[in-house]
């Protein structure tokens, strides 16, 4: 007697499924005469949506994430991706966009996460192992050291601006707090008076 073949968990075509606070479904997208598969992700009320064609690597990441049998893991993983897509795609925060741009640069060349000394050491080892021209290597390392210095200056500047902005908002909120408490007290007194009249 044969065993029942396990069905692969796939994202439904046209009919949306809920994943956390988002909806997800597959569809087709026409590029000229050619139709290609794509994924649609939207928030629950449909006011925000993103289409991801099968030609992008994120398509495969989402399909693989959805195919896991562990529903909790699926919700956590895809929920994180969709929340990131939504946040980056809708945020008006310049600081967030600056930070994402800088982080993306560092992921392209991850040695930038290291200290300058460690970065130089790794670059020298790497270029030596792959047989690059020594003169070009020295020039490339020099350029990357300068680039790293400028990048970290920018990170510090953006960090300081963000902290200043945050502290300014805290000061405003603190200054408005007594007025807000006073308003709450007045509202409570007015409500009490209305109850007594009724």
**pLDDT tens for residues 81-140?**
999 999 999 999 888 899 999 999 999 999 999 999 999 999 988 887 777 777 788 888
pTM summary value: 0.71
User: What distances in angstroms separate CA 128 from CA 121, 132, 136, one per listed residue?
Assistant: 11, 6, 11
Whether 52 and 29 have beta carbons less than 8 Å apart is answered as no
Q: What is the pLDDT of residue 132?
A: 75
**Residue-range domain boundaries for the chain:** 17-90, 95-197
Residue whose C-alpha is closest to residue 105's, from 150, 67, 39: 150
């Amino acid at each position: 007697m044969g065993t029942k073949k396990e069905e692969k968990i796939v994202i439904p075509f046209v009919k949306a499924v809920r994943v956390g606070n988002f909806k997800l479904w597959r569809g087709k997208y026409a590029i000229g005469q050619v139709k290609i598969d794509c994924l649609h992700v939207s928030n629950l009320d449909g006011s925000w949506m993103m289409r991801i064609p099968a030609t992008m690597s994120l398509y495969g990441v989402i399909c693989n994430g959805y195919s896991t049998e562990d529903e909790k893991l699926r919700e956590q993983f895809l929920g994180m991706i969709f929340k990131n897509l939504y946040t980056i795609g809708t945020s008006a925060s310049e600081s967030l966009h600056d930070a994402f741009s800088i982080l993306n640069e560092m992921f392209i060349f991850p040695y930038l996460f290291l200290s300058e000394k460690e970065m130089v050491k790794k670059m020298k080892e790497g270029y030596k192992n792959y047989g690059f021209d020594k003169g070009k290597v020295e020039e490339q390392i020099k350029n990357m050291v300068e680039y790293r210095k400028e990048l970290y200056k920018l990170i510090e500047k953006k960090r300081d601006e963000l902290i200043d902005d945050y502290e300014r908002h805290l000061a405003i909120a603190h200054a408005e707090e007594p007025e807000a408490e006073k308003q709450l007290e007045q509202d409570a007194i007015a409500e009490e008076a209305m109850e007594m009249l009724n």
